[in-house]
Structure 1
Amino acid sequence: MEGLFFNIDNGFIEGLVRGYKNGLLTSSQYINLTQCDSLDDLKLQLSSTDYGNFLSNVPGSLSTSIIETKLNETLYEEFRYIRSQATEPLGKFMDYITYGYMIDNVALMITGTIHERDRSEILERCHPLGWFDTLPTLSIATDLDSLYQTVLIDTPLAPYFQNCLSVDDLDDLNIEIIRNTLYKAYLEDFYQFCMNQLPSPSNEIMERLISFEADKRSINICLNSLDTDISIDDKLKMLPELGKLSNSAYKNQLTQVEDLENLKSIITSVGEFKNFFDDSNDKNLEDHFYEYEMRLCKDAFTQQFTISTIWAFIRSKEQEVRNITWIAECIAQAQKERINNYISVF
């Protein structure tokens, strides 16, 4: 029944997003990019795609970092345009997408501050989709309580800090624990919003997408905590209550694992994750994450009357940016033998 009324508020936006999706690079266009011998050749090839002349006003010679920055700017412009057209609950859905970037920006600002890095340099590295007005003032806080009371209390992240305020020492380890604890609370909140506020099939697709995001973070948390002093309680505090790895049996095993081989055996026992540690074809764990996520995003576009295509498009576009940046870097460093090691989007 929801499909009968979907187009009233969201029909234009779904059409817009599907149009953006059709502008993603095709396999033949990727082949053309990998044949380039210089960054100027790459620029010429990209000008014949939907990116057009996005590099035309670049002063001086091209570099990989400039190309990456310009590619990301196109994504931010498209996201902001979609958001400007959104009504509720789509507007809130898109706001939730930005919260993850906000958490990363907060962690980056705190880490940079305790290491006495230049504030302007840190702000330049912050993700534009995670920007909020009081972000620059994070550098004045000396402890988490003052950080919360003076800066974060008026942001959407405030409710997620309830389980973090007991941390006294803002060192690198505790900041990482805070970041993952915040992300856990954020994913669980986002999940509940999607289940309660979005109609079918949007909620069903988002359940799969958010659950995999949770599983991905659980794997990374357990992997990065090997050979560290992180306690089982701290691990439990960081692992999301979502995804295939969230049941008590997996959780108990993951928090107590002490070596990489045991961790691999636990994760690969989940059918969909059985190849995640296969390092053939020069692929690492992160590559397998991206491949699996792209399959989920591709599946999201097979459904009609769903706003989950927005999440799928953003993740697909981010992967395309990584792909083009990888190709550009291989060209710049004359590493053409590795140039085809990108992740297919569609």
Structure 2
Amino acid sequence: MAKFLDYITYGYMIDNVALLITGTVHERDKSEILERCHPLGWFDTLPALSVATDVESLYDTVLVDTPLAPYFKGVLSADELDDLNIEIIRNKLYGAYLKDFHEFVQTLPSPSDEIMSRLLNFEADRRAINISLNSIGTELTKEERASLLPEFGTLYPAATESLSRADDVEQVRNAVETYGGDAFTNLFDNSSHKSIEDHFYQREMELCKAAFTQQFTYSTIWAWIKTREQEIRNITWIAECIAQNQKERISNYISVF
């Protein structure tokens, strides 16, 4: 249980690292950035990240003694800490972290192993699709994009090559619909005014709801955190609709249960 809870915090650690480095590069106020860091991803040397000027110093002075250190194995090739490299670092770290987490959940008792595998496979697939879409039209080569895609999930390995070579949204869509099965059937359907991200959130809530139907599983902790995060997004959405005087759109939030 303790190790499982540790793994949950690693994802927030990676987001905090990326947030602080980005803020430092853009000369944002350090105290303001630290306040925005997620408490589940806090570690003692996090404030020291602002002194890093490149990836090596980032690792050697700050991250070498943190749980994220093993995930930096394939990241140290980047030199400058600019917006593109920071995003590459974040995605490589997240890919390595999710793969490690996925291998760990295979050691959990049944049905925790099965349910957590399903939840992490979805997370890997979501990241693979988002990386492919967001890298279209950027400086990333096909090889660099392929290196960012998670090495597990329902889309791996069948769809990975197609996603890494996709030049437009339609090619991403074809790869996902060909290899993704029923889980992503309506992902690119915007007839209900839902974005791709909305469809991801909807699917995530369906998987989390299913996780609660089992008893005495580790997966309910992950599902509980994700549903609470969705509730926060829903509250924010409702508040924005009220502030922008678009109350007719309030009901377009993602239902948790």
Q: Unmatched 5+ residue regions in structure 2?
A: none
The higher relative CO (CA closer than 8 Å, separation ≥ 6) is in: 1
1:268–1:275 CA contact under 8 A, matched in 2: no
Counterpart of 1:283 in structure 2: which amino acid? K
Q: Are residue 179 (structure 1) and residue 81 (structure 2) matched?
A: no
Q: Are residue 289 (structure 1) and residue 200 (structure 2) matched?
A: yes
Report the TM-score, using the length of structure 1 for normalisation.
0.72
| SS of alignment partner, residue 233 of structure 1 | helix
Q: Whole-Å Cα distance in 1 between the matches of residues 159 and 242 of structure 2? A: 43
Q: Are residue 254 (structure 1) and residue 163 (structure 2) matched?
A: yes
Q: Whole-Å Cα distance in 1 between the matches of residues 132 and 146 of structure 2? A: 10
Aligned residues: 255
Superposition pairs of residues 173-252 of structure 1, within 5 angstroms: 173-196=84-107, 198-247=108-157, 249-252=158-161
Q: Whole-Å Cα distance in 2 between the matches of residues 96 and 193 of structure 1? A: 9
Shift of 1:268: 2.2
Q: Choose from 234, 246, 253 the match for 1:335.
A: 246
Shift of 1:305: 2.0
Q: Whole-Å Cα distance in 2 between the matches of residues 285 and 274 of structure 1? A: 12
Shift of 1:326: 1.1
2:22–2:86 CA contact under 8 A, matched in 1: yes
Question: Percent identical across equivalent pairs?
Answer: 66
2:53–2:80 CA contact under 8 A, matched in 1: no
Shift of 1:204: 0.4
Superposition pairs of residues 260-299 of structure 1, within 5 angstroms: 260-269=169-178, 270-271=180-181, 272-299=183-210
| SS of alignment partner, residue 340 of structure 1 | helix
Counterpart of 1:220 in structure 2: which amino acid? N
Shift of 1:260: 1.2
| SS of alignment partner, residue 214 of structure 2 | coil
Counterpart of 2:174 in structure 1: which amino acid? S
Counterpart of 1:222 in structure 2: which amino acid? S
Q: Whole-Å Cα distance in 1 between the matches of residues 98 and 254 of structure 2? A: 25
Q: Whole-Å Cα distance in 1 between the matches of residues 142 and 165 of structure 2? A: 7
Coordinate RMSD, CA, aligned: 0.9
Tell me what 1:135 maps to.
46
Tell me what 1:126 maps to.
37
Tell me what 1:160 maps to.
71
Q: Unmatched 5+ residue regions in structure 1?
A: 1-89
Q: Whole-Å Cα distance in 2 between the matches of residues 239 and 222 of structure 1? A: 8
Shift of 1:333: 2.5
Task: Select between 280-289 and 324-333 the one with higher mean Cα deviation.
Answer: 324-333
Shift of 1:266: 1.3
Shift of 1:129: 1.0
Q: For the pair shown, which has the larger CA radius of gyration, 1 or 2?
A: 1
Q: Whole-Å Cα distance in 2 between the matches of residues 169 and 93 of structure 1? A: 34
